[in-house]
Amino acid sequence: MIAEYDTPKVDPASKDLLGAVDRSPSLTDKVYEKLRQGLLRGVWSPGEKLTARKLSRDLGVSLTPAREAIMRLVNEGALDVSEKRTFRTVDLNCEQYSEVMRIRSALEPIAVELATPLFAEEEIKRLIELNEQMKEMISQERFNDSLQIDSEFHLLICDRAEQPLMRSIIDTLWLRAGPTRNRLSYSYRKRLIGYENHKRIIAAIQLRDAAAAAAAVKRDLSEGAAIIVAVLTEDERDN
């Protein structure tokens, strides 16, 4: 014989006690976003030491949100931590950087192929604005700012692809390689190679030519990566 049980009744008033979840960004979220943007911009050099105490002082917050934001980035692979609990930006060697770029070169052309037919005219105008802003920052030798704009350009394309899992993977790769992008040579930046590659990407998107847009993204990634790989290879040979 199967026993029957009455389902307990929940007092409606008890549900009201829970209230709505506050979805506004927490202080930790805000600190995390500041650090994330700093990594994307190349504010810190590869292997640079970060401390919760200094970050909390610089950002005007307590130690707790600074520590929590740092640990979040450690868990995402964007920061390294030693056995002595010392936090540093990721310092990729040539092999590690090459692996990151191989994955980016596989995923980001797919993202732009998917995004190309979805772009609205206003979004294309935004890509043009970002590229011109990047050119201006380079002309003023504000290279950290130009790196931030470059990342915004590429990640806007990834956003438009509407592939959240792919976007999260690409985000992790960008964060991990962010400090290493500082190794782009002065001459590469001043020659505006990235700017010209971006113009090719935009032109292909305007024509709704997904294959050409994918090829232009792949070219942009490979040319920048080749410069950094050469620098890393020379550093490893000297050491």
Rounded Cα distance between 79 and 89, Å, is: 5
Q: Evaluate whether 126 touches 155 at the Cβ level (below 8 Å).
A: no
State the DSSP H helix or E strand holding residue 16, giving kind and residue range, or none if neither: helix 12-18
Q: Which two tokens stand for residue 221?
A: 């990634």
According to CATH, the superfamily of the domain at 94-238 is GntR ligand-binding domain-like (1.20.120.530)
Reading the chain (239 residues) residue by residue, the pLDDT tens digits are: 545 445 445 455 544 544 443 445 789 999 999 998 888 877 888 899 999 999 899 989 999 999 999 999 999 888 998 877 789 999 999 999 999 999 999 999 999 999 999 999 999 999 999 999 999 999 999 988 898 899 999 999 999 999 999 999 998 899 889 889 888 877 788 889 999 999 999 999 999 999 999 999 999 999 999 999 998 998 888 77
Beta carbons within 10 angstroms of residue 236's beta carbon:
11
The whole-number pLDDT of residue 41 equals: 75
Q: Select from 233, 230, 103 the least CA-distant residue to 176.
A: 103
For residue 120, CA distances in Å to 79, 97, 112, 213 come to: 36, 34, 14, 15
For residue 134, CA distances in Å to 53, 123, 234 come to: 33, 17, 28
SS3 74: helix
Domain 26-89, CATH 1.10.10.10 — does that match? yes
Domain ranges of the chain: 26-89, 94-238
Instruction: List the strands of the sheet with 49-50, edge to edge.
Output: 49-50, 87-89, 79-81
SS3 49: strand
The whole-number pLDDT of residue 187 equals: 79
Q: Do domains 26-89 and 94-238 have the same CATH topology?
A: no
Ranges of H-type helices in 116-192: 121-139, 143-160, 164-177, 186-190
Q: Taking the CA of residue 146 as centre, how many other CA atoms within 13 Å lie in the half-sphere pointing to its CB? A: 23
Residue found by looking up tokens 């200094």 in the block: 54
Q: At what angle do helices 94-115 and 210-238 cross, to 10 degrees?
A: 170
pTM, rounded to two decimals: 0.81
The whole-number pLDDT of residue 5 equals: 47
Q: Where are the beta strands (DSSP E) in the chain?
A: 49-50, 79-81, 87-89
Longest dimension (CA), the chain: 84
